[in-house]
Homo-oligomer: A and B are copies of this chain.
C-alpha cells in the first residue's frame, strides 16, 4: 500500500492540462451566456440548436447534432420539447423517409432576435477585455485542434 504523503510524479499543473483548461475557459465564457438565457424559454443546448438552424437552415438531425455537439438521443428529446413549444417544426424528408428535416419557426427566430443583441454585446465585451487578436488567434487554434485525428 502506498503512503498518502509520498511525493508523487506530478502530471501537468491543472492550469496546463488541456482538457481542464478547456473546461475552465468554457465556464468563464458561458457564465454570462447562461445568465442571459436564464430568464428565457431556452437553455444552453436549445440555444445552440437554434443557432445552428439559423446558420445552416433546415437540416436533418445528424447534421444538427454534430454542429451543436449533442448526441442524437439528447437531440431527440430536446427537439420534442422545442417542437411542442413551437420553436421548430419537423417534416419527413421525401427523398429519404428515414430522415426528418428540422426547420426553425417564428417563435424560435423571435428568441434569437430578442437575445441576439445581448449575446452580441457579451461577445463585444469579451473581445474588448481579452483583445481582438488574441481572440481570433484562440479561435484559429481551436479550429485546428478540432481537425486532429487522435488515436483511438
As for how many copies of this chain the complex holds, the number is 2
| A84 at interface, CB cutoff 8 A | no
Q: Per-residue 0/1 for A78-92: is the Cβ within 8 Å of any B Cβ (1 yes, 0 no)? A: 000000000000000
Question: In the complex, how many angstroms separate the beta carbon of A30 from the nearest chain B beta carbon?
Answer: 5
Q: Is the CB of B104 within 8 A of A129?
A: no
A 124-152 to B, binary, CB cutoff 8 A, 1 in contact else 0: 01100110001101110111111011111
Show the binding face of A for B, using Cβ within 8 Å: 1-4, 6, 8-33, 35, 48, 51-52, 54-55, 67-69, 103-106, 109-110, 112-113, 116, 119-120, 122-123, 125-126, 129-130, 134-135, 137-139, 141-146, 148-152
